[in-house]
Amino acid sequence: MTFSLTVLGSNAAVPANNRNLSAHLLNANERYFLIDCGEGTQFQLRRYHLSFRRIKHVFISHLHGDHFFGLIGLLNSMHLLGRKEELHVHAPAMLLEIINIQMEVSQTTLNYPMLFHPLHMDQYTLIFEEERLTVHSFPLRHSMPACGFVFREKKPPRRIPEARSYAYCSDTGYTEKIIPYVQETGLLYHEATFMQNMSAAAADKFHSTAMEAATIALKAKVRKLLIGHFSARYEDIGPLLAEARSVFPETYPAEEGIIRDI
């Protein structure tokens, strides 16, 4: 059974250097889970031939624009394309007010039920569960309340010895408090906005360096690390990758459009 990730956007703050804004699509046993929805996400879904209709749950980590400004456009496109199936949105509580205002001023009433689930931003919380999968949120260390998400299979399919798992840490300063939440995941995505020579700027902005992301991966004993949320100052991300691999060799870049099995 499928358990794979497609990165739709890997840049921080603004699209640059042919990189788009934060969005990941997890295919868990043919169910699509969209994680963050930066501006342009629906274009990336079309570009990589990923069906809007198969997205049943959307998870928004926090309310900086590069992580959610694409959501209202996606919701509207689903509406215009005749969606009838319900859509679950898991996000900071204030986002519901933002969505409602946008719908009101555009005189839009969605054709489908949108079920909103406010996140608990300060504690580890089970936010979704089905027969084969659980999703938990957990607090990150950022300049505004922000959550990470961890997806874990309950029962591995036949011929797969271990249950698969994926953890997503969007915008966060270095903090070892997240280690228990992401411990021993198959794939950890951790932001790596800066290189280590900008560690002071990273700390000031509540972001991480590539080396810090790798340190978390090492201490959490994950199998593989995926780094992204790159600053636009880095046209070439090779040095960030090399820096992370010096600490944690099983580090890979968040390459957009690449399907990565977990």
Quote the CA–CA distance of 150 and 137 in Å, as a whole number.
7
Exposure string (b/e) for 150-180, b if CB count within 10 Å is 16 or more?
bbbbeeeeeeeeeebbbbbbbbbbbbeebee
Residue ranges of the alpha helices (H) in 198-257?
199-204, 210-220, 238-245
CB 90 within 8 A of CB 119: yes
Indicate the DSSP class of residue 156.
P
Cα separations (Å) of 4 from 32, 164, 261?
Answer: 10, 10, 4
Catalytic site residue from 36, 66, 122, 236: 66
177 SS3 class: helix
Q: Record the tokens describing residue 236, joined without a space.
A: 């070439």
Quote the CA–CA distance of 223 and 262 in Å, as a whole number.
10
Catalytic (active site) residue 66: yes
Which single residue is written with the structure tokens 């031939």?
Answer: 49
CB 6 within 8 A of CB 259: yes
Q: Which of 149, 80, 85 is nearest to 114 (CA)?
A: 85
CB 149 within 8 A of CB 168: yes
Catalytic residues: 66
